[in-house]
Amino acid sequence: MATSLCYAKPLKPFSLRLPQTQNPQIPTQTTQIREAETLTITGPTQLSGHVPISGSKNSSLCLLAATLLCSNSCLLHNVPTGLSDTKAMLSILRSLGAKIEFNERNKEILVNTDGVGRVEPCLEEMRKIRGGFFVIGPLLARFGEAVVGLPGGCDIGERPVDLYVRGLRALGAAVEITFKIFPWQFLICGNRLCKPTISHSNTEKMAGIANFCIITSDDTGLQRDGRVLAHSANGKGLVGGSFHLDFPSVGATETLMMAASMADGVTVLSNVAKEPEVIDLARFLNDSGACVYGAGSDKLLIKGKCQLRGCECYVPPDRIEAGTFMLAAAITRSLISISPVTPSHLSCLIDKLKIAGCKITRCNNDTLEVSAIPENVCENLRGFNVRTSPFPGFPTDLQPPTMALLTTCSGSSIVEESVFDRRLGHVRELQKLGAKIQVCGSTALVFGRETRSALHGSQLRAADLRGGVALVLAGLVAEGTTQISGIGHIGRGYENLDTKLQFLGADIKRSIAMASQL
């Protein structure tokens, strides 16, 4: 069954294996404990065996947001329910009045949005994830109004929302961003101290810069009040239109797709994202009665419908988690198999690993075997150059774990991060393990090694999701003990990472850190 990815079909009444528990309350206490946990890894190690891949985090987040469009229940299978991002999205839906039935064991979530009576999701939950912002599209489309907090998520660069705002305006929405700026609060824009002048034209850009400033100036007052207020300008609903995205943003594409699917008339979106998650969303929308054409290409044509019904949907496997385990096999010079995985979603990585000297075998429809065992790769894996770019280019989410691998390959490699402007934070931590990396702007020059075990264990801190997993991979091959704190970031996007690695033979333990270790 795992092979039939993201199928969706109209929901048959009462055909559901209903959940054990009702509306689990997510104890915030849990989060703190998570924050205080560390991972202790003893290396170097070799892995072997098979690893199952969970449902896609990024697909689940936009599919869960899309349930807000549906006038009756949606049943999602294979949802990575153990991720803190999934839980944050469920809290956002619940804060709007959606009814959620959850089956952790079967990885099933039943969402009924009939009871949605609010258009302002819980701000606190919004701050936890980027994906929460996607709800602005379906709320506007279905209820003609939305008041949404500016998104949180990984601090990997300026993450403005200007494309969302301008795209929604092109669909007939009136949109503004509010900030409460206190006179004594000056913003640090880049290396300049400036007193903000709030005017319509740069509010969206401000959205990005202000976020940055909040992080550096640690001024929560402002953060709490950054919101986007939107309503349909004609007071009736959104209207079909055309919009060209300056950059093929995944989130903006998904949000505008959802908004346009219930707009009056036809919408044409050009230079859109082509990521597999966008195709998953289009499949879900079409099976809920929408008319979305062109997903996977750089142009979308959407004929709006006045109502969408619910559907049953299977969340496809997480291509980034699969790619991470392929890199784990390479960095530990191991042979492991991975499934379910869609090879075409990872063709860039597969090409690079083959250049390095790995042997990649497709065992069957959805299983890949990655081998980097010495018998297969003679002396050492070779380095390679990487430049991240939107799909089908090399995924930016795999850049940090790929860099960890390159620190163990022979020869030097150039890693260019072109999607986010501050996604090299993991370099500092890898250097603590003895990695030789030079950074200039968004480009890193990685000096490899003739032998892989040139890294040595140390105490590290994860600062974001993918940067955190890069430290785990490096810890698997570093001599001695590596301790990683800040692993709450990793739990946002990897379900049971330590357990899966233990099953592959890694010596990795999760423990509560003493305050001094944090």
Min dist. Cβ of residue 345 to ligand EPZ (A): 12
Q: Does 300 sit near ligand EPZ (CB under 6 A)?
A: no
74, 163, 386, 487: residue in contact with ligand EPZ (rule CB under 6 A): 163
Q: Does 154 sit near ligand EPZ (CB under 6 A)?
A: yes
DSSP-H helix ranges across 218-296: 220-224, 250-260, 276-287
What does the block give as tokens for 375? 């018998």
24, 52, 82, 157: residue in contact with ligand EPZ (rule CB under 6 A): 157
Min dist. Cβ of residue 423 to ligand EPZ (A): 8
Nearer Cβ to ligand EPZ (101/162): 162
Conformation bin of residue 374: beta by default, left when phi > 0, alpha when psi is -120 to 50: alpha
161, 295, 326, 330: residue in contact with ligand EPZ (rule CB under 6 A): 161
Nearer Cβ to ligand EPZ (247/293): 247
Instruction: Identify the residue whose tokens are 């003893």.
Output: 42
Min dist. Cβ of residue 369 to ligand EPZ (A): 25
Provide CB contacts within 8 A for 293, sequence distance 6+.
Answer: 300, 301, 302
Nearer Cβ to ligand EPZ (251/383): 251
Q: How many residues sit in the footprint of ligand EPZ (CB under 6 A)?
A: 26
Sign of the C-alpha dihedral, residues 393, 396, 398, 404?
A: positive
Nearer Cβ to ligand EPZ (276/340): 276
Q: How far apart are CA 518 and CA 512, in angstroms?
A: 10
Min dist. Cβ of residue 134 to ligand EPZ (A): 8
- Helix 465-477 to helix 399-406 angle, to the nearest 10 degrees? 20
CB 124 within 8 A of CB 114: no
H or E element, residue 108: strand 108-112
**Catalytic residue, candidates 6, 154, 213, 409:** 154
Nearer Cβ to ligand EPZ (74/163): 163
Q: Does 486 sit near ligand EPZ (CB under 6 A)?
A: no
* Cα separations in angstroms, 341 against 24, 56, 64, 272: 30, 11, 22, 24
* SS3 assignment, position 77: strand
Q: How far apart are CA 300 and CA 269, in angstroms?
A: 5
- Binding track, positions 254-293, relative to ligand EPZ; x by CB under 6 A: ----------------------------------------
Provide CB contacts within 8 A for 417, sequence distance 6+.
Answer: 388, 396, 399, 423, 424, 442, 443, 444
3-state helix vs strand vs coil in the chain, percent to 5: 35, 25, 40
Q: Under rule CB under 6 A, which residues in 220-259 are in contact with ligand EPZ?
A: 247, 249-252
84, 203, 332, 396: residue in contact with ligand EPZ (rule CB under 6 A): 396
Q: How far apart are CA 517 and CA 258, in angstroms?
A: 44
Min dist. Cβ of residue 226 to ligand EPZ (A): 14
102, 164, 179, 284: residue in contact with ligand EPZ (rule CB under 6 A): 164
Nearest to ligand EPZ by Cβ — which residue? Answer: 251
363 in active site: no
Q: In the Cβ-directed half-sphere of 249, how many Cα atoms lie within 13 Å?
A: 26
Q: Does 61 sit near ligand EPZ (CB under 6 A)?
A: yes
Min dist. Cβ of residue 499 to ligand EPZ (A): 20
Which residues face 8 on adjacent strands?
A: 313
Q: Does 125 sit near ligand EPZ (CB under 6 A)?
A: no
Q: Does 466 sit near ligand EPZ (CB under 6 A)?
A: yes
Q: Does 90 sit near ligand EPZ (CB under 6 A)?
A: no
Q: Does 420 sit near ligand EPZ (CB under 6 A)?
A: yes
Q: Does 323 sit near ligand EPZ (CB under 6 A)?
A: no
58, 339, 408, 482: residue in contact with ligand EPZ (rule CB under 6 A): 58
CA angle, 403 then 424 then 151, to 5°: 125
CB 157 within 8 A of CB 422: yes
What are the catalytic residues?
Answer: 154
Which residues in this chain contact ligand EPZ in the complex, by CB under 6 A? 57-58, 61, 130-131, 154, 157-164, 247, 249-252, 396-397, 419-420, 465-466, 493
